Amino acid sequence: MNRMKLIPYRMDAILDTTNEVPKGVHMVEAQSLWDETHQGESSVIAVIDTGCQSDHPDLQGQIVGGRNFTDDHNGDPENYQDNNGHGTHVAGTIAAKEDGEGVVGVAPQAKLLILKVLSEEGSGQYQWITDAIDYAVQWRGENNERVRVISMSLGGPDDTPELKQSILKAISEGVSVVCAAGNEGDGREDTMEYAYPGAYNEVIQVGAVDESRRLATFTNTNDQIDLVAPGVNVLSTYLEGKYARLSGTSMATPHVSGGLALIIPLVESQFQRRMSESEVFSQLIKRTTPLGHSKTAEGNGLMTLALTKKLEELFSTYIT
């Protein structure tokens, strides 16, 4: 069987230093929910990827645990350090802290569980991934915190029963599973490209747009796309304490994972109860804006976290 691979992505630049809120964080309107959700501080997101540089200045204090499922680092399960760069970039988009330096993530107070399933060259066995999904579902923090979101910027051509079973189990336990659509797109909206696990109906499959809200030429289009997020020239954390601009649906996915880290505490405080995965999904989709592409390209549209607030304000002006 084929190995699961990092969804290929494009390196646009590596920077030694930076100090800015990345454009993608602005595009998805993350800051509109920061006050009400304490920047997602009660949320734990499992990042299933190449690991993470845990001592990156922007990520220190954000990681609550981790595990290595690969043969890297002599197969040491305790060593989940990133030797590729991809996982560190994804982690920063989700939860790089807001400290006036470097970059900031979509949910800067959310916590990360780092599960390394892809090796230095960016590939991994399907078994490593299913084991990591199961681990994420069973994980409990010091105060009995649970993973509510799994973020997977990886994919392969094979639809395997074991992988699907693990994902279905996670979803039944109330975990939202966010997956990259893939970068095999041909720039046409009417052709279908599928990568798994993204193409499973049960996951939240994320395609990519650029800063002008145009569809990225590389993004997969298919009949299971749920929404799109910024995935071109995305600035985030990288190896050796540096920063990088990368492009790919891999970069769009963590925007949505971070968005869920804000949405879940927000709506659970509003409804005063724990929400099921399907309820969380509907709350996410309520916060999307159609961009005018076909549904097979953009799904429900671009994640725009301030949307429901804007609608409430709009209708309240009519009522008064």
DSSP state of 50: S
250 is catalytic: yes
Task: Give me the numbers of helices (H) and strands (E) for the chain, helices first please.
Answer: 9, 15
Report the distance separating Cα 175 and Cα 294, nearest Å: 28
The per-residue DSSP string of 64-113 comes to EEEEE-SSTGGG-TT----SSSHHHHHHHHHH---SSSB---SSTT-EEE
What does the alpha-carbon distance between residue 217 and residue 213 come to, in Å, rounded to a whole number?
12
- Select which of 176, 247, 250, 257 is catalytic: 250
**Residue type at 208?**
A
The one catalytic residue in 49, 72, 210, 226 is 49
Phi–psi pair at 260, nearest 5 degrees? -65, -30
CB atoms within 10 A of CB 310: 13
* Residue reference for tokens 């599960």: 115
The b/e string for 77-89 (b: 16+ C-beta within 10 A; e otherwise) is: eebbbbbbbbbbb
Which of 58, 72, 86, 176 is flagged as catalytic? 86
Task: Please report which helix (H) or strand (E) contains residue 161, including its range.
Answer: helix 161-172
Q: Which residues are catalytic?
A: 49, 86, 250
